[in-house]
Amino acid sequence: MISLHNVSKSFDNINVINDVSLQVIQGRNTVIMGRSGAGKSVLLKLILRLLEPDSGEIKIDNLCLNKISKSELNQLRLRFGTVFQSAALFDSMSVADNVGIGLRFLKRQSESEINKKVNECLDMVELNNIRDKYPMQLSGGMRKRVGLARAVAMDPEFILYDEPTTGLDPVTSRSIAKLIRKLQNELNVTSVIVSHDLQTIFNVADKVILLNEGKFCFNGTVEAIKSSDNPIVMEFISDMISD
């Protein structure tokens, strides 16, 4: 389980995250939504301890992140898969090498093991015929799928998604959302998904959290947020629909 207790983070005296607490339910998809610049991606970096909180405590299971050693932190990060907004693929590597990079350099598996796992992961994201292509030859949606395959290749317990459908057309966005659900169901992973795409949020979320001015102003189900009379929630949804 991922838990945050009274966590705050500021930059240049601006409170981006202000005394927030959260428990991410095991095996569920938790979506953190909010406007651009609201601090959603900062939360992901705090969970991975790429940033240190100014105050508060972040725990993964019973491990407090600010009390573990660097080697313990490196081992902990192996339990996470991350899907970046830009997919963050290596242009000079083939799709197969991109998917297998963690297996090769972090888990140091044999080439036959890597090849088998790469094929399995590309099958899972329905891209089993592109392993020898390069990122520049792929569409935006295909690059996102390769990023998903790379994340699951490490058999993570947790997957963090940073705006997984940004820049994609509605049809491709829906296909990515279906894949996120598929991975949850088939692998039983626990996911934290940062997004401001309402359609994606409504399709993948078990729990929805709205981050506004550094605080969580809503924490509940998709059904609850759709019927919420919270003025901040109503304004956010209205603005997203009008966009």
3-state SS, residue 160: strand
Mean pLDDT of 154-163: 92
Q: What is the DSSP string of 168-229?
A: --HHHHHHHHHHHHHHHHHH--EEEEEE--HHHHHHH-SEEEEEETTEEEEEE-HHHHHT--
3-state DSSP call for residue 145?
helix
β-pairing, 190-195 vs 207-212, is unpaired
pLDDT confidence of residue 109? 80
17 falls in which pLDDT band (50, 70, 90)?
very high
Interatomic CA distance for residues 67 and 173, integer angstroms:
39
Q: Cβ distance 211 to 32 under 8 Å?
A: yes
Domain ranges across the chain: 1-79+158-166+179-243, 85-155
| Per-residue pLDDT reduced to its tens digit, 85-130 | 777 899 999 999 999 998 888 878 889 999 999 999 999 888 889 9
Q: What DSSP state is assigned to residue 137?
A: G
Domain covering 1-79+158-166+179-243, topology: Rossmann fold (3.40.50)
Percentage, residues of the chain above pLDDT 70: 99
**CA separation for the pair 89, 11 (Å, rounded):** 29
Comparing CA positions, the residue from 179, 219, 187 lying closest to residue 203 is 179
Average model confidence (pLDDT) across the chain? 89
- Which is more confident, 243 or 148? 148
The pLDDT of residue 243 is 60
b/e map 123-144, b = 16+ CB within 10 Å: ebbebeebbeebbeebeebbbb
% of the chain exceeding 90 in pLDDT? 52
Q: Which helix (H) or strand (E) holds 116?
A: helix 111-124
Angle in degrees, 0-180, between the axes of helices 111-124 and 95-105, rounded to the nearest 10: 130
Whether pLDDT at 242 is above 80: no
Asked if residue 179 has pLDDT above 90, the reply is: no
Chain segment 201-219, per-residue pLDDT in tens: 888 999 999 999 899 999 9
Q: pLDDT-based confidence at 187, cuts 50/70/90?
A: confident
User: What confidence tens digit (pLDDT) does each residue in 41-75 have?
Assistant: 999 999 999 999 999 999 998 889 988 998 999 88
Asked if residue 31 has pLDDT above 70, the reply is yes
Q: Check if the beta carbon of residue 122 is closer than 8 Å to that of residue 114.
A: no
pLDDT computed for residue 103 by the predictor = 87
